[in-house]
Structure 1
Amino acid sequence: MTIVRRNFDDADETRPFADDKGRLDVIQAEGGPVGRAVFEPGWRWSEHIKPLAGTDSCLSAHTGYVVSGRMHVVMDDGEADDYGPGDFMQVSPGHDAWVVGDEPCVAVDWTGFGDYAKAAGG
């Protein structure tokens, strides 16, 4: 048996978002990658990640927890919801999202950040 302690401030990889609108810190864990994203005010998936992803909407599934700030998510079919501090989130592929308000949104995700914010094909 083992125990592991890691800190996202010393992540295995950091992926910056376009226009300095945040970053994704990724830790490679035994069960797969875990990410902490810091989405700055003004961040929007369709503006700051879409050019990297090369898709019309986010095709990552997300299972995570919002630490601080607020995020608005709109599915391709129009269903929408807001997430804030303390919220568990589970979002299927096919969505856009953006920060609500003037506070960064910080979220931890253990299913959707393995290839998130990487250039298409990378």
Structure 2
Amino acid sequence: MSENITATLRVRIGQEEAHYGGNLVEGARILKLFGDIITEIAIQTDGSEGLFVGYSTIEFLAPVYAGDFIEATGTVVRMGKTSRTVEFEARKVIASRYDTAPDAADILDEPIVVVRATGTTVVPVENSRGSTVRA
């Protein structure tokens, strides 16, 4: 059942999210995207938002800056009776270019992987409404 269950978000990281010097964004911002993705997956599989119980791995691989566009994807890799394990990857697809001009950016020919992680959500049996619930 886990084949092809995915969710994807693409967002622009705003200036208000710069947390460190040089417009650097904290890694937790990407983890928030992963939380939204796993919530969508739980809705797809069970019609419930589920409860994100934790990460088994997180790798911060490249910096994210205000103005960057990030595309984050999660794919189900294991489905238990009440749990769904998801592999996440966030890629920078547009890079801000403050070194060129305050409003400059480049579309990247090859996206840069910025974060990879694996996490698990649990949908209590009493909350599950079955797979692929549609209104």
* TM-score in terms of structure 2 length: 0.26
Q: Which has the larger radius of gyration?
A: 2
Taking structure 1 as the reference length, the TM-score comes to 0.27
- Going by fraction, where is helix more abundant, 1 or 2? 2
